[in-house]
């Protein structure tokens, strides 16, 4: 899908919990499981998907002149607080948004956040709204001693999407998006199960790599560009190894990937992961640079996007005083015992 060049990102925000636990602590001093994740963020006792979504959205809205134009809100997560009760309505009310708003919760494993982005852009393209709020947030669960315990993290990202105007300049144009989806059961959790199950090595080639590669190649064909025409890339980060491998397969360099590879310091924030990687890039990108981002969701599917930074983003960033790197800098390490105690109390 090719989008109107007058719609795109008008603001964005991120939220990472304060606490982290290292891979060494999780492995009880026996190493990092070879996934390239040094530590992961841990949600505090009073933090859930709703609070992460609100915090990220508050930063995004604080960078805008107003919030009255937000006409729809979509929250992507696989750890919604209630099985039956929307996260989105709680977020909208906490933010003080208008009651005249379209709201929906989305679930497609780790790509639910980019699905929110895609739906919000479609609302804008149709003219149904002038601004949309798209959120990806998760407090990911992992069975103790499972490989997922090294990576399953907590965090959220929020994007305010809008139509370009003198009052709300675009920070980045979203030029195009493509998606793929198949019934590939690499990761699942049945109702009332405490922890997800996964297909081990099956989660790699037939799942993550097949879908990410196909969605990205479809996008590049749609916009008639090659990796050499793009300055940055970001791929879903179940760990630090998979995105590096897929970038190489697709013809992207380490330099194009490295800024968005924040997974090594925060872990896999599931529905927030691809969007947080995109935010890490937007926090540094220059005017007219292009960014490709491709998410992945188990079960399985991928969304791919191409964005182009406008000259407004570098200018407006000068007035901001808090970025993703500042949130990383404020994180405090905790030990495995404290981490497990927090998880058990939540469970």
Which one, of 293, 304, 298, lies nearest residue 206 by Cα?
A: 298
CB atoms within 10 A of CB 77: 31
Burial bucket for residue 293 (CB in 10 Å: 0-12, 13-18, 19+): buried
DSSP SS3 for 338:
helix
Beta-strand runs (E) in 164-239: 172-181, 187-188, 197-198, 232-235
- Would you call 99 a catalytic residue per the annotation? no
Which residues on adjacent β-strands are paired with residue 154? Answer: 139
Of 47, 55, 72, 110, which residue is the catalytic one? 110
Residue among 47, 55, 78, 308 flagged as catalytic: 78
| 199 close to 257: Cβ distance less than 8 angstroms | no
- What whole-number distance in Å separates Cα of residue 239 and Cα of residue 228? 25
Q: Catalytic annotation on 78?
A: yes
Active site annotation includes 110: yes
User: Rounded to an integer, what distance in angstroms lies between the CA atom of residue 137 and that of residue 87?
Assistant: 11
Q: Among 93, 12, 20, 8, which residue's Cα sits nearest to residue 50?
A: 93
As annotated, the active-site residues are: 78, 110, 236
């Amino acid at each position: 899908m090719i989008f109107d060049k007058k719609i795109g990102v008008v603001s964005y925000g991120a939220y990472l919990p304060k606490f982290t636990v290292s891979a060494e602590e999780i492995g009880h001093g026996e190493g990092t499981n070879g996934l390239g994740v040094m530590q992961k963020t841990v949600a505090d006792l009073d933090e859930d998907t709703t609070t992460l979504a609100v915090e990220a959205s508050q930063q995004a809205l604080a960078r805008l002149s107003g919030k009255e134009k937000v006409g729809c809100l979509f929250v992507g997560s696989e750890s919604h607080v209630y099985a039956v009760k929307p996260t989105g309505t709680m977020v909208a009310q906490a933010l003080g948004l208008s009651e005249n708003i379209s709201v929906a919760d989305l679930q497609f494993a780790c790509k639910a956040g980019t699905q929110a982005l895609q739906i919000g852009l479609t609302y804008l393209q149709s003219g149904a709204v002038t601004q949309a709020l798209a959120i990806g947030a998760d407090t990911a669960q992992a069975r103790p001693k499972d490989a997922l315990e090294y990576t399953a993290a907590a965090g959220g990202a929020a994007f305010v999407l809008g139509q370009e105007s003198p009052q709300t300049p675009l920070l980045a144009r979203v030029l195009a998006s493509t998606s793929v989806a198949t019934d590939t059961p690499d990761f699942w959790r049945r109702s009332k199960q405490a922890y997800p199950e996964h297909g081990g090595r099956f989660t790699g080639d037939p799942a993550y790599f097949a879908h990410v590669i196909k969605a990205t190649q479809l996008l590049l064909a749609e916009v008639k560009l090659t990796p050499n025409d793009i300055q940055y890339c970001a791929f879903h980060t179940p760990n630090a190894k998979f995105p590096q491998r897929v970038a190489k397969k697709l013809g992207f360099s380490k330099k194009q990937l490295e800024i968005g590879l924040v997974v090594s310091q925060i872990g896999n924030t599931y529905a927030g992961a691809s969007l947080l990687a995109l935010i890490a890039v937007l926090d540094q990108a220059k005017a007219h640079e292009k960014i490709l981002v491709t998410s992945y969701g188990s079960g399985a599917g991928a969304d791919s996007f191409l964005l182009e930074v406008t000259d407004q983003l570098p200018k407006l960033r000068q007035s901001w005083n808090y970025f993703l790197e500042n949130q990383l800098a404020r994180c405090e390490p905790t030990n495995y015992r404290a981490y497990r105690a927090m998880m058990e109390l939540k469970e």
